[in-house]
Amino acid sequence: MAHNINFNEKTGRYSFFSVQEKAWHGLGQIVAQYPTSEEAIKHAGLDYQVVKSPLFTKASDSIETTQDTEVGSNILEVPNYYATSRTDNNTVLGVVGKDYHIVQNRDAFNFFDAIVGGGEGILYETAGALGKGERIFITAKLPDYIRVGKGDDVTEKYIFLTTSHDGSGSITAAFTPIRIVCQNTLNASLRNMTNVVRIKHTSGARQRIENAHKIMGLANTLSLQLENIFNHWAKVRVTDQEVKKLIQLALCPNKETLDLLKKGAEDDVSTVFKNVVEDAFSYAMISDTQQMETTKGTLFGAYNAVTGYYQNVRKYNNEEAKLQSIVLGGTAQQKSQKAFDLCSSFALDGAVILN
Residue-wise DSSP of 222-243: HHHHHHHHHHHHTTSB--HHHH
pTM recorded for the entire structure? 0.64
- Reduced to 3 states, what is the DSSP secondary structure of residue 33? coil
Whether residue 184 sits in one domain with residue 299? no
Query: Range with the lowest mean pLDDT among 35-44, 219-228, 246-255?
Result: 219-228
Does any domain span residue 265?
Answer: yes
Does any domain span residue 72?
Answer: no
Q: Give 143-158 pLDDT, tens digit per residue.
A: 666 666 666 666 677 7
- Reduced to 3 states, what is the DSSP secondary structure of residue 191? coil
- Reduced to 3 states, what is the DSSP secondary structure of residue 321? helix
| Domain end residue (candidates: 183, 203, 228) | 228
Does any domain span residue 271?
Answer: yes
pLDDT at 255: 85
Whether residue 269 sits in one domain with residue 129? no
Whether residue 166 sits in one domain with residue 114? yes
Does any domain span residue 71?
Answer: no
| Domain end residue (candidates: 201, 228, 255) | 228
Whether residue 222 sits in one domain with residue 142? yes
Does any domain span residue 137?
Answer: yes
Higher pLDDT, 224 or 124: 124
pLDDT at 25: 54
Percentage above 90 pLDDT, the chain: 12
Q: Give 53-103 pLDDT, tens digit per residue.
A: 999 888 765 444 444 444 556 788 889 999 999 999 999 999 999 999 999
Does the pLDDT value for residue 242 go beyond 70? yes
Section 218-232 average pLDDT: 68
Does the pLDDT value for residue 190 go beyond 70? no
pLDDT at 324: 67
Section 159-171 average pLDDT: 86
Whether residue 139 sits in one domain with residue 42? yes
Does the pLDDT value for residue 126 go beyond 50? yes
Decide: 3 and 318 in contact? Cβ < 8 Å: yes
pLDDT at 183: 31
Does any domain span residue 203?
Answer: yes
Tell me which amino acid residue 49 is: Q
Whether residue 254 sits in one domain with residue 137? no
Whether residue 186 sits in one domain with residue 42? yes
| Domain end residue (candidates: 228, 243, 272) | 228
Give me the torsion for CA of 138, 139, 144, 149, rounded to 10°. 160
Whether residue 144 sits in one domain with residue 125? yes
The count of structural domains within the chain is 2
Q: In what order do the strands lie in the sheet with 16-19?
A: 29-31, 16-19, 123-130, 135-148, 153-164, 171-179, 196-199
Percentage above 70 pLDDT, the chain: 72
Section 218-245 average pLDDT: 75
CA distance 240 to 15: 45
Q: Give 302-338 pLDDT, tens digit per residue.
A: 888 888 777 777 787 766 667 667 666 677 777 888 8
Range of the domain at 177: 7-48+102-228
Whether residue 20 sits in one domain with residue 132? yes
Does any domain span residue 326?
Answer: yes
Query: Could you count the other beta carbons within 10 Å of the beta carbon of residue 51?
Result: 15
Whether residue 189 sits in one domain with residue 112? yes
